[in-house]
Structure 1
Amino acid sequence: MPEGPSIVILREEAAKFRRQTVRKVSGNSSIDLERMQGRRVVSLRSWGKHFLVEFSGFSLRVHLLMFGTYHIDEPKPKPPRLALEFDNGTLYFYTASLKYVEGPLDDSYDWRADVMSPDWDPALARRKLRRQPDTLACDALLDQDVFAGVGNIIKNEVLFRIGVHPESPIGALPPRTLTRLVAQAREYSFDFLEWKKRYVLRQHWLVHRKRDCPTCGAKLAKAKLGMRERWAYFCVRCQQLY
Protein backbone atom coordinates (compact mmCIF):
# COMPACT_ATOMS: atom_id res chain seq x y z
CA MET A 1 0.00 0.00 0.00
CA PRO A 2 1.51 3.37 -0.99
CA GLU A 3 2.30 5.33 2.17
CA GLY A 4 2.08 9.07 2.76
CA PRO A 5 5.50 9.97 1.28
CA SER A 6 4.60 8.19 -1.97
CA ILE A 7 1.41 10.23 -2.24
CA VAL A 8 3.43 13.41 -1.74
CA ILE A 9 5.59 12.34 -4.69
CA LEU A 10 2.43 11.76 -6.75
CA ARG A 11 1.22 15.23 -5.82
CA GLU A 12 4.52 16.77 -6.86
CA GLU A 13 4.72 14.84 -10.13
CA ALA A 14 1.13 15.77 -11.04
CA ALA A 15 1.62 19.46 -10.21
CA LYS A 16 1.58 20.46 -13.89
CA PHE A 17 -2.16 19.69 -13.99
CA ARG A 18 -3.01 22.34 -11.39
CA ARG A 19 -5.19 25.08 -12.91
CA GLN A 20 -5.72 22.93 -16.00
CA THR A 21 -9.15 22.01 -17.41
CA VAL A 22 -10.24 18.39 -17.79
CA ARG A 23 -10.78 17.99 -21.54
CA LYS A 24 -11.68 14.31 -21.46
CA VAL A 25 -12.41 11.82 -18.70
CA SER A 26 -12.66 8.04 -18.99
CA GLY A 27 -12.20 4.89 -16.95
CA ASN A 28 -13.98 1.84 -15.54
CA SER A 29 -14.96 3.37 -12.20
CA SER A 30 -18.61 3.19 -11.11
CA ILE A 31 -18.73 6.82 -9.94
CA ASP A 32 -20.01 9.58 -12.23
CA LEU A 33 -16.77 10.42 -14.00
CA GLU A 34 -18.50 12.86 -16.34
CA ARG A 35 -18.89 15.21 -13.40
CA MET A 36 -15.26 16.22 -13.91
CA GLN A 37 -15.60 16.85 -17.65
CA GLY A 38 -14.80 20.47 -18.50
CA ARG A 39 -13.99 21.34 -14.90
CA ARG A 40 -10.83 23.22 -13.92
CA VAL A 41 -8.52 21.77 -11.28
CA VAL A 42 -8.25 24.24 -8.41
CA SER A 43 -5.48 22.40 -6.57
CA LEU A 44 -3.83 19.05 -6.02
CA ARG A 45 -3.44 18.07 -2.38
CA SER A 46 -2.64 15.05 -0.27
CA TRP A 47 -3.74 13.88 3.17
CA GLY A 48 -2.15 10.72 4.45
CA LYS A 49 -2.76 8.06 1.81
CA HIS A 50 -5.38 10.15 -0.02
CA PHE A 51 -4.58 12.04 -3.23
CA LEU A 52 -7.05 14.88 -3.70
CA VAL A 53 -7.99 16.59 -6.97
CA GLU A 54 -9.85 19.73 -5.95
CA PHE A 55 -12.47 21.35 -8.15
CA SER A 56 -14.81 24.22 -7.28
CA GLY A 57 -17.42 22.82 -4.89
CA PHE A 58 -16.14 19.24 -4.71
CA SER A 59 -13.00 17.11 -4.88
CA LEU A 60 -12.00 13.69 -6.11
CA ARG A 61 -10.38 11.44 -3.52
CA VAL A 62 -8.06 8.77 -4.90
CA HIS A 63 -6.88 5.92 -2.67
CA LEU A 64 -4.41 3.51 -4.25
CA LEU A 65 -5.36 0.64 -1.92
CA MET A 66 -2.79 -2.17 -1.62
CA PHE A 67 -1.57 -2.39 -5.20
CA GLY A 68 -2.76 0.76 -6.96
CA THR A 69 -0.53 2.69 -9.33
CA TYR A 70 -0.55 5.89 -11.34
CA HIS A 71 1.04 6.95 -14.59
CA ILE A 72 1.50 10.38 -16.16
CA ASP A 73 1.26 10.69 -19.96
CA GLU A 74 2.25 7.06 -20.58
CA PRO A 75 -0.65 4.62 -20.03
CA LYS A 76 -0.34 0.96 -19.10
CA PRO A 77 -1.71 -1.61 -21.57
CA LYS A 78 -4.71 -2.38 -19.35
CA PRO A 79 -7.80 -0.13 -18.97
CA PRO A 80 -7.42 2.51 -16.23
CA ARG A 81 -9.77 3.04 -13.33
CA LEU A 82 -9.56 6.72 -14.25
CA ALA A 83 -7.91 8.81 -16.96
CA LEU A 84 -8.01 12.61 -16.78
CA GLU A 85 -6.88 14.23 -20.03
CA PHE A 86 -5.66 17.83 -20.04
CA ASP A 87 -4.13 20.06 -22.70
CA ASN A 88 -0.69 19.34 -21.24
CA GLY A 89 -0.97 15.60 -20.61
CA THR A 90 -2.97 12.80 -19.03
CA LEU A 91 -3.13 11.43 -15.51
CA TYR A 92 -3.93 7.71 -15.19
CA PHE A 93 -4.91 5.67 -12.11
CA TYR A 94 -5.06 1.88 -11.87
CA THR A 95 -6.55 -0.37 -9.17
CA ALA A 96 -7.63 2.65 -7.16
CA SER A 97 -10.65 3.58 -5.06
CA LEU A 98 -12.38 6.78 -6.20
CA LYS A 99 -14.79 8.89 -4.19
CA TYR A 100 -16.13 12.42 -4.35
CA VAL A 101 -15.73 14.70 -1.35
CA GLU A 102 -18.35 17.43 -1.24
CA GLY A 103 -17.63 21.00 -0.17
CA PRO A 104 -14.34 22.51 1.03
CA LEU A 105 -11.62 20.00 1.84
CA ASP A 106 -10.92 21.80 5.10
CA ASP A 107 -14.36 20.66 6.27
CA SER A 108 -13.47 16.99 5.70
CA TYR A 109 -9.78 16.79 6.59
CA ASP A 110 -7.80 17.71 9.67
CA TRP A 111 -4.39 18.55 8.23
CA ARG A 112 -2.87 18.43 11.72
CA ALA A 113 -3.08 14.62 11.60
CA ASP A 114 -1.08 14.29 8.36
CA VAL A 115 2.54 13.44 9.21
CA MET A 116 3.70 15.02 5.93
CA SER A 117 1.77 18.26 6.37
CA PRO A 118 3.30 21.56 7.54
CA ASP A 119 0.28 21.71 9.86
CA TRP A 120 1.22 18.42 11.60
CA ASP A 121 0.60 18.72 15.35
CA PRO A 122 2.62 16.27 17.48
CA ALA A 123 0.92 17.45 20.68
CA LEU A 124 -2.46 16.53 19.20
CA ALA A 125 -1.11 13.09 18.29
CA ARG A 126 0.10 12.53 21.84
CA ARG A 127 -3.29 13.54 23.27
CA LYS A 128 -5.06 11.10 20.95
CA LEU A 129 -2.69 8.31 21.95
CA ARG A 130 -3.19 8.92 25.67
CA ARG A 131 -6.91 8.36 25.14
CA GLN A 132 -6.24 4.81 23.92
CA PRO A 133 -3.82 3.31 26.50
CA ASP A 134 -4.70 -0.30 25.66
CA THR A 135 -3.90 0.06 21.97
CA LEU A 136 -0.78 -1.79 20.86
CA ALA A 137 2.04 0.31 19.43
CA CYS A 138 1.81 -1.56 16.10
CA ASP A 139 -1.87 -0.61 15.80
CA ALA A 140 -1.44 2.96 17.04
CA LEU A 141 1.09 3.81 14.34
CA LEU A 142 -1.31 2.58 11.66
CA ASP A 143 -4.23 4.62 13.02
CA GLN A 144 -4.84 7.15 10.24
CA ASP A 145 -6.73 9.45 12.59
CA VAL A 146 -3.50 9.84 14.58
CA PHE A 147 -0.77 9.27 11.96
CA ALA A 148 -2.29 9.88 8.53
CA GLY A 149 0.14 8.53 5.96
CA VAL A 150 1.99 6.04 8.14
CA GLY A 151 1.95 2.52 6.70
CA ASN A 152 3.49 -0.82 7.52
CA ILE A 153 7.03 0.01 6.41
CA ILE A 154 7.15 3.18 8.48
CA LYS A 155 5.57 1.36 11.43
CA ASN A 156 8.19 -1.38 11.50
CA GLU A 157 11.12 0.97 11.04
CA VAL A 158 9.93 3.51 13.63
CA LEU A 159 9.44 0.86 16.31
CA PHE A 160 12.94 -0.48 15.68
CA ARG A 161 14.43 3.02 15.76
CA ILE A 162 12.95 3.71 19.20
CA GLY A 163 13.50 0.18 20.57
CA VAL A 164 9.84 -0.63 21.25
CA HIS A 165 8.29 -4.08 20.80
CA PRO A 166 5.23 -3.80 18.51
CA GLU A 167 2.94 -5.45 21.10
CA SER A 168 3.67 -2.85 23.77
CA PRO A 169 0.48 -1.07 24.90
CA ILE A 170 0.61 2.68 24.38
CA GLY A 171 -0.30 3.34 28.00
CA ALA A 172 2.74 1.38 29.20
CA LEU A 173 5.26 3.51 27.32
CA PRO A 174 7.24 6.03 29.38
CA PRO A 175 6.38 9.65 28.45
CA ARG A 176 9.76 10.19 26.79
CA THR A 177 9.34 7.04 24.70
CA LEU A 178 5.84 8.09 23.62
CA THR A 179 7.24 11.46 22.56
CA ARG A 180 9.95 9.70 20.53
CA LEU A 181 7.35 7.48 18.85
CA VAL A 182 5.38 10.53 17.72
CA ALA A 183 8.47 12.39 16.59
CA GLN A 184 9.88 9.45 14.67
CA ALA A 185 6.59 8.83 12.85
CA ARG A 186 7.16 12.18 11.15
CA GLU A 187 10.96 12.09 10.93
CA TYR A 188 11.08 8.65 9.35
CA SER A 189 8.33 9.64 6.91
CA PHE A 190 10.51 12.45 5.59
CA ASP A 191 13.52 10.14 5.45
CA PHE A 192 11.31 7.75 3.45
CA LEU A 193 10.42 10.59 1.08
CA GLU A 194 14.06 11.54 0.49
CA TRP A 195 15.20 7.93 -0.03
CA LYS A 196 12.31 7.10 -2.35
CA LYS A 197 13.06 10.13 -4.52
CA ARG A 198 16.65 8.87 -4.82
CA TYR A 199 15.47 5.28 -5.49
CA VAL A 200 17.36 3.96 -2.47
CA LEU A 201 14.50 3.35 -0.02
CA ARG A 202 14.99 -0.42 0.31
CA GLN A 203 18.69 0.04 0.95
CA HIS A 204 17.80 1.91 4.15
CA TRP A 205 15.37 -0.64 5.59
CA LEU A 206 16.75 -1.92 8.88
CA VAL A 207 14.13 -4.54 9.76
CA HIS A 208 11.27 -4.43 7.27
CA ARG A 209 11.45 -7.66 5.24
CA LYS A 210 14.89 -8.32 6.70
CA ARG A 211 16.18 -11.53 8.30
CA ASP A 212 18.78 -10.43 10.85
CA CYS A 213 18.89 -7.58 13.34
CA PRO A 214 21.41 -4.93 12.21
CA THR A 215 22.26 -4.15 15.84
CA CYS A 216 22.72 -7.51 17.61
CA GLY A 217 22.72 -9.96 14.70
CA ALA A 218 19.89 -12.10 16.08
CA LYS A 219 17.27 -13.48 13.75
CA LEU A 220 14.36 -11.06 13.47
CA ALA A 221 10.86 -12.12 14.46
CA LYS A 222 8.15 -11.98 11.83
CA ALA A 223 4.46 -12.17 12.70
CA LYS A 224 1.05 -10.75 11.88
CA LEU A 225 0.29 -8.65 14.94
CA GLY A 226 -2.42 -6.38 16.25
CA MET A 227 -6.04 -6.01 15.30
CA ARG A 228 -5.03 -5.21 11.72
CA GLU A 229 -2.83 -8.34 11.50
CA ARG A 230 -0.19 -6.59 9.43
CA TRP A 231 3.27 -8.10 9.12
CA ALA A 232 5.65 -6.98 11.83
CA TYR A 233 9.42 -7.40 11.66
CA PHE A 234 11.18 -6.82 14.97
CA CYS A 235 14.01 -7.85 17.26
CA VAL A 236 12.99 -9.39 20.59
CA ARG A 237 16.39 -8.47 22.04
CA CYS A 238 16.62 -4.84 20.94
CA GLN A 239 12.94 -3.85 21.14
CA GLN A 240 11.59 -3.75 24.66
CA LEU A 241 8.15 -5.16 25.49
CA TYR A 242 6.63 -2.73 27.98
Structure 2
Amino acid sequence: MPEGPSLVLLREAAARFRRRTVRDVDGDSTLDLQRMHGRRVVAVRTWGKHFLLEFSSFSLRVHMLMFGSWRIDDPKPKTPRLALAFDNGTLYFYASSLKYVEGDLDDTYDWRRDVLSPDWNPGLARRTLKHALDVLACDALLDQDVFAGVGNIIKNEVLFRIRVHPLTPVGELPPRKLGQLVAQAREYSVDFLEWKRQGVLRRHWQVHRQRNCPSCGGRLEKARLGERERWAYFCPHCQPGG
Protein backbone atom coordinates (compact mmCIF):
# COMPACT_ATOMS: atom_id res chain seq x y z
CA MET A 1 0.00 0.00 0.00
CA PRO A 2 1.50 3.39 -0.98
CA GLU A 3 2.19 5.42 2.16
CA GLY A 4 1.95 9.16 2.69
CA PRO A 5 5.43 10.04 1.35
CA SER A 6 4.71 8.22 -1.92
CA LEU A 7 1.53 10.28 -2.31
CA VAL A 8 3.55 13.47 -1.80
CA LEU A 9 5.77 12.44 -4.71
CA LEU A 10 2.65 11.87 -6.82
CA ARG A 11 1.37 15.30 -5.82
CA GLU A 12 4.64 16.89 -6.87
CA ALA A 13 4.64 15.06 -10.21
CA ALA A 14 0.99 15.92 -10.88
CA ALA A 15 1.42 19.59 -9.99
CA ARG A 16 1.89 20.24 -13.72
CA PHE A 17 -1.88 19.69 -14.15
CA ARG A 18 -2.86 22.48 -11.76
CA ARG A 19 -4.92 25.13 -13.57
CA ARG A 20 -5.23 22.81 -16.56
CA THR A 21 -8.52 21.65 -18.12
CA VAL A 22 -9.48 18.01 -18.43
CA ARG A 23 -9.74 17.39 -22.18
CA ASP A 24 -10.62 13.71 -22.14
CA VAL A 25 -11.60 11.09 -19.55
CA ASP A 26 -11.42 7.30 -19.73
CA GLY A 27 -11.27 4.32 -17.39
CA ASP A 28 -13.18 1.33 -16.08
CA SER A 29 -14.38 2.93 -12.84
CA THR A 30 -18.12 2.86 -12.12
CA LEU A 31 -17.85 6.48 -10.95
CA ASP A 32 -19.32 9.13 -13.27
CA LEU A 33 -15.93 10.01 -14.72
CA GLN A 34 -17.38 12.37 -17.32
CA ARG A 35 -18.21 14.79 -14.53
CA MET A 36 -14.57 15.91 -14.76
CA HIS A 37 -14.60 16.42 -18.53
CA GLY A 38 -14.05 20.06 -19.40
CA ARG A 39 -13.41 21.01 -15.77
CA ARG A 40 -10.34 22.91 -14.65
CA VAL A 41 -8.13 21.61 -11.85
CA VAL A 42 -7.99 24.21 -9.08
CA ALA A 43 -5.42 22.45 -6.88
CA VAL A 44 -3.51 19.20 -6.50
CA ARG A 45 -3.40 18.12 -2.85
CA THR A 46 -2.84 15.14 -0.59
CA TRP A 47 -4.04 14.11 2.84
CA GLY A 48 -2.32 11.05 4.21
CA LYS A 49 -2.89 8.29 1.68
CA HIS A 50 -5.49 10.30 -0.26
CA PHE A 51 -4.59 12.01 -3.54
CA LEU A 52 -6.92 14.90 -4.27
CA LEU A 53 -7.67 16.75 -7.50
CA GLU A 54 -9.69 19.79 -6.55
CA PHE A 55 -12.19 21.33 -8.95
CA SER A 56 -14.40 24.38 -8.34
CA SER A 57 -17.21 22.66 -6.38
CA PHE A 58 -15.99 19.12 -5.82
CA SER A 59 -12.80 17.06 -5.68
CA LEU A 60 -11.70 13.66 -6.87
CA ARG A 61 -10.25 11.47 -4.14
CA VAL A 62 -7.96 8.63 -5.19
CA HIS A 63 -6.99 5.93 -2.68
CA MET A 64 -4.59 3.31 -4.00
CA LEU A 65 -5.65 0.59 -1.58
CA MET A 66 -3.09 -2.25 -1.40
CA PHE A 67 -1.84 -2.49 -4.97
CA GLY A 68 -2.73 0.79 -6.66
CA SER A 69 -0.32 2.69 -8.89
CA TRP A 70 -0.10 5.75 -11.09
CA ARG A 71 1.71 6.88 -14.20
CA ILE A 72 2.07 10.06 -16.25
CA ASP A 73 2.34 9.78 -20.06
CA ASP A 74 3.37 6.11 -19.78
CA PRO A 75 0.27 3.88 -19.66
CA LYS A 76 0.37 0.22 -18.73
CA PRO A 77 -0.86 -2.32 -21.33
CA LYS A 78 -4.22 -2.63 -19.61
CA THR A 79 -7.31 -0.50 -19.03
CA PRO A 80 -6.74 2.06 -16.27
CA ARG A 81 -9.18 2.73 -13.48
CA LEU A 82 -8.94 6.35 -14.60
CA ALA A 83 -7.13 8.30 -17.32
CA LEU A 84 -7.31 12.10 -17.31
CA ALA A 85 -5.94 13.80 -20.43
CA PHE A 86 -4.76 17.41 -20.31
CA ASP A 87 -3.05 19.60 -22.91
CA ASN A 88 0.28 18.90 -21.22
CA GLY A 89 -0.02 15.16 -20.51
CA THR A 90 -2.15 12.30 -19.22
CA LEU A 91 -2.49 11.03 -15.66
CA TYR A 92 -3.29 7.33 -15.19
CA PHE A 93 -4.44 5.40 -12.11
CA TYR A 94 -4.63 1.62 -11.71
CA ALA A 95 -6.25 -0.65 -9.08
CA SER A 96 -7.38 2.37 -7.08
CA SER A 97 -10.55 3.50 -5.33
CA LEU A 98 -12.15 6.67 -6.70
CA LYS A 99 -14.64 8.90 -4.94
CA TYR A 100 -15.96 12.43 -5.25
CA VAL A 101 -15.72 14.74 -2.26
CA GLU A 102 -18.33 17.47 -2.40
CA GLY A 103 -17.70 21.06 -1.35
CA ASP A 104 -14.63 22.56 0.31
CA LEU A 105 -11.90 20.07 1.19
CA ASP A 106 -11.24 21.98 4.41
CA ASP A 107 -14.68 20.84 5.58
CA THR A 108 -13.70 17.19 5.09
CA TYR A 109 -10.03 16.99 6.01
CA ASP A 110 -8.21 17.99 9.18
CA TRP A 111 -4.77 18.85 7.81
CA ARG A 112 -3.35 18.85 11.34
CA ARG A 113 -3.50 15.05 11.32
CA ASP A 114 -1.39 14.57 8.18
CA VAL A 115 2.16 13.73 9.31
CA LEU A 116 3.66 15.43 6.24
CA SER A 117 1.46 18.51 6.23
CA PRO A 118 2.85 21.91 7.22
CA ASP A 119 -0.15 22.00 9.58
CA TRP A 120 0.80 18.74 11.35
CA ASN A 121 0.02 19.08 15.05
CA PRO A 122 1.87 16.62 17.31
CA GLY A 123 0.06 17.91 20.37
CA LEU A 124 -3.27 16.95 18.81
CA ALA A 125 -1.98 13.44 18.06
CA ARG A 126 -0.77 13.05 21.63
CA ARG A 127 -4.05 14.25 23.11
CA THR A 128 -5.96 11.84 20.86
CA LEU A 129 -3.81 8.91 21.96
CA LYS A 130 -4.48 9.70 25.62
CA HIS A 131 -8.09 8.71 24.92
CA ALA A 132 -6.99 5.42 23.33
CA LEU A 133 -5.06 3.82 26.18
CA ASP A 134 -6.05 0.25 25.30
CA VAL A 135 -5.04 0.55 21.66
CA LEU A 136 -1.87 -1.34 20.72
CA ALA A 137 1.09 0.69 19.52
CA CYS A 138 1.05 -1.10 16.15
CA ASP A 139 -2.62 -0.17 15.65
CA ALA A 140 -2.24 3.38 16.92
CA LEU A 141 0.40 4.21 14.31
CA LEU A 142 -1.81 2.89 11.51
CA ASP A 143 -4.84 4.92 12.64
CA GLN A 144 -5.30 7.46 9.86
CA ASP A 145 -7.39 9.67 12.13
CA VAL A 146 -4.27 10.13 14.26
CA PHE A 147 -1.34 9.67 11.87
CA ALA A 148 -2.65 10.24 8.35
CA GLY A 149 -0.09 8.89 5.90
CA VAL A 150 1.61 6.37 8.17
CA GLY A 151 1.67 2.86 6.70
CA ASN A 152 3.15 -0.48 7.60
CA ILE A 153 6.75 0.33 6.71
CA ILE A 154 6.73 3.50 8.77
CA LYS A 155 5.00 1.69 11.63
CA ASN A 156 7.64 -1.03 11.83
CA GLU A 157 10.57 1.36 11.56
CA VAL A 158 9.18 3.87 14.07
CA LEU A 159 8.60 1.19 16.70
CA PHE A 160 12.14 -0.09 16.24
CA ARG A 161 13.59 3.42 16.43
CA ILE A 162 11.94 4.04 19.78
CA ARG A 163 12.42 0.43 20.98
CA VAL A 164 8.75 -0.31 21.60
CA HIS A 165 7.16 -3.74 21.09
CA PRO A 166 4.25 -3.64 18.60
CA LEU A 167 1.83 -5.17 21.12
CA THR A 168 2.44 -2.55 23.80
CA PRO A 169 -0.81 -0.74 24.73
CA VAL A 170 -0.60 3.02 24.37
CA GLY A 171 -1.55 3.39 28.03
CA GLU A 172 1.59 1.51 29.09
CA LEU A 173 3.92 3.87 27.27
CA PRO A 174 5.77 6.27 29.61
CA PRO A 175 5.23 9.94 28.66
CA ARG A 176 8.69 10.11 27.10
CA LYS A 177 8.02 7.08 24.91
CA LEU A 178 4.63 8.41 23.87
CA GLY A 179 6.31 11.66 22.86
CA GLN A 180 8.90 9.72 20.87
CA LEU A 181 6.21 7.72 19.08
CA VAL A 182 4.45 10.90 17.96
CA ALA A 183 7.67 12.67 17.00
CA GLN A 184 9.06 9.73 15.06
CA ALA A 185 5.84 9.23 13.11
CA ARG A 186 6.62 12.59 11.57
CA GLU A 187 10.41 12.34 11.48
CA TYR A 188 10.56 8.93 9.87
CA SER A 189 7.95 9.99 7.30
CA VAL A 190 10.16 12.95 6.34
CA ASP A 191 13.17 10.63 6.07
CA PHE A 192 11.10 8.15 4.02
CA LEU A 193 10.18 10.92 1.58
CA GLU A 194 13.77 12.02 1.08
CA TRP A 195 15.04 8.44 0.68
CA LYS A 196 12.23 7.74 -1.79
CA ARG A 197 13.23 10.80 -3.82
CA GLN A 198 16.80 9.50 -3.94
CA GLY A 199 15.71 5.94 -4.79
CA VAL A 200 17.44 4.50 -1.73
CA LEU A 201 14.52 3.79 0.63
CA ARG A 202 15.12 0.05 1.02
CA ARG A 203 18.74 0.59 1.96
CA HIS A 204 17.54 2.35 5.10
CA TRP A 205 15.12 -0.31 6.33
CA GLN A 206 16.31 -1.42 9.74
CA VAL A 207 13.71 -4.10 10.44
CA HIS A 208 11.02 -4.04 7.75
CA ARG A 209 11.46 -7.22 5.68
CA GLN A 210 14.84 -7.82 7.31
CA ARG A 211 16.11 -10.97 9.03
CA ASN A 212 18.50 -9.78 11.71
CA CYS A 213 18.47 -6.87 14.13
CA PRO A 214 20.97 -4.16 13.14
CA SER A 215 21.59 -3.40 16.84
CA CYS A 216 22.03 -6.76 18.58
CA GLY A 217 22.35 -9.07 15.59
CA GLY A 218 19.57 -11.33 16.83
CA ARG A 219 16.88 -12.85 14.68
CA LEU A 220 13.92 -10.57 14.02
CA GLU A 221 10.41 -11.82 14.53
CA LYS A 222 7.71 -11.53 11.89
CA ALA A 223 4.01 -11.84 12.70
CA ARG A 224 0.61 -10.48 11.77
CA LEU A 225 -0.27 -8.37 14.78
CA GLY A 226 -2.98 -6.02 15.95
CA GLU A 227 -6.57 -5.56 14.83
CA ARG A 228 -5.48 -4.98 11.24
CA GLU A 229 -3.22 -8.07 11.28
CA ARG A 230 -0.54 -6.29 9.27
CA TRP A 231 2.94 -7.75 9.16
CA ALA A 232 5.13 -6.62 12.02
CA TYR A 233 8.92 -6.96 12.01
CA PHE A 234 10.55 -6.43 15.39
CA CYS A 235 13.42 -7.46 17.62
CA PRO A 236 12.28 -9.32 20.78
CA HIS A 237 15.52 -8.32 22.52
CA CYS A 238 15.64 -4.61 21.63
CA GLN A 239 11.85 -4.19 21.74
CA PRO A 240 10.85 -6.19 24.82
CA GLY A 241 7.30 -6.58 26.04
CA GLY A 242 4.14 -7.42 24.20
Q: Above 0.5 in TM-score? A: yes
* Paired position in structure 1 for 2:164: 164
The equivalent of 2:21 in structure 1 is 21
Q: For structure 1, which runs of at least 5 residues remain unmatched after alignment?
A: none
Pair 1:102 & 2:120 matched: no
Overall identity of the aligned pairs, in %:
73
* Residue matched to 1:78: 78
> 2:206 — aligned with what?
206
Q: Distance in 2 between matches of 1:222 and 1:104?
A: 42
Aligned equivalents of 1:108, 1:142: Cα separation in 2: 20
1:13-32 Cα shifts (integer Å, max 9, x gaps): 01100000000011000000
Task: Work out the number of aligned pairs and report it.
Answer: 242
SS class of match (1:233) = strand
1:80 positional shift = 0.4
Tell me the amino acid that sits aligned with residue 145 of structure 2: D
CA displacement, residues 121-158 of structure 1 (integer Å, 9 cap, x when unaligned): 00000011000100000000000000000000000000
Equivalent position of 1:180 in the other structure: 180
Distance in 1 between residues matched to 2:236 and 2:80, nearest whole Å: 44
Aligned to 1:19, what secondary structure does the other structure show? coil
Question: Which residues of 2 match residues 185-196 of structure 1 at below 5 A?
Answer: 185-196=185-196
In the superposition, the TM-score normalised over structure 2's length comes to 0.99
Partner letter of residue 215 of structure 2? T
Q: CA deviation at 1:240?
A: 3.0
RMSD of Structure 2 on Structure 1 (CA): 0.6
- CA distance in 2 between partners of 1:29 and 1:9 (Å): 24
- Cα deviation per residue 1:65-105 (whole Å; 9 max; x = unaligned)? 11101000111110000000000000000000000000000
SS of structure 1 residue aligned to 2:142: coil
Give the 5 Å matches for 1:90-169. 90-169=90-169
Give the corresponding residue for 1:63: 63
Following the alignment from structure 2 to structure 1, what is the Cα–Cα distance between the partners of residues 225 and 159? 13
How much does 1:35 deviate? Answer: 0.3
CA distance in 1, matches of 2:207, 2:233: 6
- SS of the residue corresponding to residue 80 of structure 2 reads coil
One-letter amino acid of the counterpart of residue 163, structure 1? R
Offset at residue 162 of structure 1 (A): 0.2
After superposing on structure 2, the runs of 4+ consecutive aligned residues of structure 1 that deviate more than 6 Å are none
CA distance in 2, matches of 1:197, 1:56: 31
Q: TM-score, normalised by structure 1?
A: 0.99
TM-fit CA distance, 1:3: 0.1
